[in-house]
A and B are shown apart, each in its own frame.
Chain A
Amino acid sequence: MNKPIAPAAPARDIKAIVNAGLAHRHAAERRFRLYGLVAISLGLAFVVLMFASIISKGYPAFWQTYIELPVAFDAAVIDPEGKRDPKVLENADYAALVRASLRSLFPQVEGRRDLRALYALASSSAPLQLRAAVLDNPTLIGSTQPVWVLASATVDTFVKGNIDRSLDETLRPIKDQDIAWVDKLRADDRLERRFNSILFNHGDSREPEQAGIRGALMGSFYTLLVTFLLSFPIGVATAVYLEEFAPKNRWTDLIEVNINNLAAVPSIVFGLLGLAVFINFFGLPRSAPLVGGLVLSLMTLPVIIIAGRAALTSVPPSIREAALGMGASKLQMVGHHVLPLAMPGMLTGSIIGMARALGESAPLLMIGMVAFIVDIPKGMFDPATVLPVQIYLWADLPERAFVERTSAAIMVLLAFMILMNGLAIILRKRFERRW
């Protein structure tokens, strides 16, 4: 018989000791929870701060000021010979129409300098807008129509209240007489704020009011398409081979270490590699989404391979054994059973990898995608830029009106990020199997 080593009396002592220490231990736990809470709320506070700053700066960019001009489509200016020849209509001096209509609104303005300032109220896109309208509908010629044209960026910034009118005239980009004109236009109901569809429909421009992210969005789309088409099949195939077929020896260990290393390589290195291999050696065009996609797929491949292998290992061996036991070949076992079960995990990994690729700008510096491109790319070979690069380029421009557009572009990028990461979470929640 084993006798208790300690006598009965000290047992009460142990309880006392435990009780004495209990308060201390509970306090430690409370403290630990508090630290956790502080850490999380600090993190959240920064996220809220970032979002608040970006959104408060960026939301005005979704609105754009328009001016209503009574435009007299003067036949003598547009089509003096009256033949309605499209060539003539295309090359007519539509800027003169804009100038004339501004003069008709403010007939008292005189002198070259003042007139120049007056003409600057409307965006330089106004003549192009009139040209498009006339080419679309030549019957306009000879009539006077109210036309809403874009206000210049300075007027827009002022109307949005981003320029303090109480400042001394020399200190603000908009002069007293401009303010008087804008006030008059506003009093006459000739000023309107509308949803800024240009931001989503136009390519880049040096005039803030005409600048849009469509070009960058399409560039990002083509780049990511190439990235996905390359990195997903190759990544999945690599993961399957390494996990299911490859012998476990020194060589596969070496490959595994290298893949893990590659996932941690700074992205600019992939850019340099892309420049040396794809552009200088293979002679692919600079600034093309194809090259961007190739570089980014180098970057996302390791992420997809690692996620894919993790998904494959989480499929229990019993499934494999059952399949093999029923007479399936190894390829059938993988193709029919293991891969479908691992697919949600692999897709989640790929989407997270793609989201990272979407936000990447550093490797694209080297391959010429940091560029001013007005025309919207129509394919993988047209010069293009991507959303993060567009943000970087706009942030660097002196015009004040680009500040809000930069933030607006960041909001669009963040929206895509949230969408992609949300998709990854939904996929995981819906299809994940627990064993």
Chain B
Amino acid sequence: MIKQKIALALAANLTLAGAAQAQSARDYISIVGSSTVYPFSTAVAEQFGKTNSSFKTPKVESTGTGGGFKLFCGGVGTEYPDIANASRPIKKSEIETCAKNGVKEIIEVNIGFDGIVIASSKKNKPMALTLEDLWLALAKEVPEPGTGKLVANPFKTWKDVNPELPANKIEVLGPPPTSGTRDAFVELVMDHGCKKFPVIKDLEKSDEKKAKAICGTLREDGAYIEAGENDNLIVNKLVANSNALGIFGYSFMEENLDKVQGETVNGVAPNFENIADGKYPISRPLFFYVKKAHVGVIPGIKEFIAEFTSEKAAGDEGYLSNKGLIPLPKDKRKQVAADANSLKTLAP
């Protein structure tokens, strides 16, 4: 019984001490956001912690882009994060939420590109895909061959989509709707792939919203398989099922070149050079956003920005490119680094 009392007293103490502690200032940078930027942000955070002995290593949370902005825009103060990673530019609505909560000055830093690859097992013959093929194979409603009217997707094999492709069953393993990779895939592949078809063009003139919905809705009859957020899992599933195609980030393909191959899209192979040049059509910019009000309050934010934008990190041969980040072109990189280090904020 006495032991129990001690335990109870201890527990009560703990809770009180916790509340007191929470009010004291945080002395490490808190980063939240995209799971795509996470591998790069963590690499910089670790390097930053190692080289600057006067600062603590930043904490990087993987919350997803949207979840990250929600926390980031919560307000100004040490209980809110200082930096948000994002695999897409900040939305207008998010800027408004931020402003409403007092986060008025935001610094945007573009760190590079991430390619999204359509890959298959090495055992398969490579396929030459186009954005139109991908859209026809994966959209929920497509123009019927012959009539051109919109019908539920009738295509079963890639040959049905395009006679030049092999007669393999359409099976694509990709990320679920909660993933930023999925958003990017819809935006870069589906929304572009549908544009060439006359029925969509007509629809765009009469009912733009509906056209967008038709373009961006993936089929739900089992041809597109939601394989979870874990890209390594998709790679392993491709090895097990040589018929299937998989959608995932470029860095995962680079690490598994002995198991999977990237399909060419519109005649361009997904490799480092093509993504860096902007030739490969499915690539997206990656960002991080800094709360200017926290610079100078939380120690090390300025130095962290400097480390992230330095040539030894984000340059052509920087350590981030070893981790699979596709760097920005040289001029753009210089511009971004200069803007970021002078703490230039987004125009309101």
Contact = CB atoms under 8 A, between A and B. Distances in A.
Interface of A: 90, 116, 128, 163-164, 167, 170-173, 205-207, 226, 229-230, 232-233, 236-237, 282-288, 290, 294, 335, 368, 370-375, 380-381, 383, 393, 395-400, 403
Most A CB contacts (10 A, CB to CB) among B18, B35, B57 go to B18
Contacts of B1: 335
B11 A400 contact: no
20 contacts: A164-B258, A229-B11, A233-B4, A284-B18, A284-B19, A285-B22, A286-B61, A288-B18, A290-B14, A294-B15, A335-B1, A368-B32, A371-B59, A372-B42, A372-B46, A373-B57, A375-B49, A381-B22, A396-B35, A396-B229
Interface stretch (B144-152, B249-257, B334-342): B249-257
A368 B238 CA distance: 32
Interface in B225-261: 229-232, 249, 251-252, 254-258
Given A236-B4, A396-B231, A398-B39, A375 B30 contact: no
Contact of A233 (B8, B28, B258): B8
Given A167-B258, A397-B232, 18 more contacts: A173-B257, A233-B8, A233-B11, A283-B23, A285-B18, A288-B18, A294-B15, A375-B49, A381-B18, A381-B21, A383-B28, A396-B62, A396-B229, A396-B232, A398-B249, A398-B252, A398-B255, A399-B255
Given A164-B258, A170-B257, A284-B19, A206 B39 contact: yes
A398 B229 CA distance: 13
B323 interface: yes
Contact of B22 (A173, A283, A373): A283
Q: Is the interface of A mostly helix, strand, loop or mixed?
A: loop
Given A226-B14, A233-B8, A393-B62, A173 B255 contact: yes
B233 to A, nearest CB: 8
B18 A290 contact: yes
Contacts of A286: 30, 61, 79
Interface string B6-44: 011011001100110111001010101001001101110
Contacts of B232: 395-398, 403
Contacts of B50: 128
Given A171-B258, A229-B7, A283 B38 contact: no
B109 interface: no
Given A383-B28, A396-B229, A398-B324, A172 B258 contact: yes
Contacts of B46: 205-207, 372, 374
A335 B23 CA distance: 40
B220 to A, nearest CB: 25
A289 B317 CA distance: 38
Contacts of B42: 206, 372
B57 A371 contact: no
Contacts of B10: 229
A170 B39 CA distance: 24
B255 A372 contact: no
Given A229-B10, A232-B7, A372-B38, A282 B19 contact: yes
A357 B242 CA distance: 39
Contacts of A290: 14, 18
B88 interface: no
B139 interface: no
Contacts of B41: 372
B60 interface: yes
Contacts of A399: 255
Nearest to B254: A398
Contact of B61 (A167, A206, A370): A370
Nearest to B1: A335
B161 to A, nearest CB: 29
Interface string B206-230: 0000000000000000000000011
A285 B79 contact: yes
Contacts of A172: 257-258
Contacts of A205: 46
B53 interface: yes
B56 interface: yes
Given A172-B258, A396-B230, A374 B45 contact: yes
Nearest to B56: A375
B189 to A, nearest CB: 21
A337 B175 CA distance: 58
A402 B323 CA distance: 13
A368 B28 CA distance: 15
